[in-house]
Amino acid sequence: MSGIHVSREAAPIIGSMSAQIELDELHRFTTDEYRRLVEAGAFEDLPVELIDGLLVRKDMKSREHEQAIEWLNRYLFRGVDDERYAVRVASSLTLETSAPEPDLALIPRGASRPYHPATAALAIEVSVSSLRRDLDVKSIIYARALVAEYWVVDLAGARVVVHRVPRADRYEQVVEARTGERIAAPAGLPELSVEQLLRAAAA
């Protein structure tokens, strides 16, 4: 079966139509619907995740993005108590209306698993083109799921935005850490050096 082809002439019309569609007219997938589609192979070639019932394209994986994740992965594995926590890389969480795939997550061994884990002690997103989504949308989603701590690594801004103390739809504490600063980490992990992280991403 051939794929759908959108001509250059049609593209502006489609864009105009989408601007007229109200959000409540869109179909929002449940996490069960999304899981069944994933298991059926519907998104094998589409880098998407479920955010508040909608399919959202995931961030592009630049060289700096991958190197930051590699460094953070080593940091977590070296410091974590693996009897109490599991380190997951680019793996889904099953939340109320979302199935995000944080770049890294620290999962308590006893966490509820409606399918994938339903919360985390720490979720980390390394942002390239998805910074607004990670700061404005995912922070709400993770707070609702009581993810204890949420870090957004903003490579372009040379900072880590740390979210702590989830309450309802937000985190009560949001602080920025920049080069020369260290971040106190949860779950008994050692402090994280922002400078070392950024240097590894740019190497």
Confidence of residue 129 (pLDDT cuts 50, 70, 90): confident
pLDDT for residue 20: 67
Domains and CATH numbers, the chain: 11-57 (no CATH), 63-202 (3.90.1570.10)
As a whole number, the mean pLDDT across the chain is 89
Helix (H) or strand (E) holding 148: none
Q: Which of the pair, 9 or 72, is modelled with greater confidence? A: 72
Does residue 51 surpass a pLDDT of 80? Answer: yes
Encoding tokens for residue 180? 């020369």
pLDDT digits (tens, 9 = 90+) for 15-48: 454 556 677 788 899 999 999 999 999 988 888 9
Cβ atoms 48, 56 nearer than 8 A? yes
Q: Which of the pair, 179 or 23, is modelled with greater confidence? A: 179
Does residue 126 surpass a pLDDT of 60? Answer: yes
Listing DSSP states for 48-88 in one string gives EEEETTEEEEPPP--HHHHHHHHHHHHHHHHHS-TTTEEEE
pTM of the model: 0.86
Q: Residue 93: exposed, middle, or buried by beta-carbon count in 10 A (0-12, 13-18, 19+)?
A: buried
Name, in order, each residue with C-beta under 8 angstroms of 13's C-beta and a sequence gap of 6 or more.
none
pLDDT for residue 76: 97
- Eight-state DSSP code of residue 43: T
**In the Cβ-directed half-sphere of 155, how many Cα atoms lie within 13 Å?**
24
pLDDT for residue 128: 84
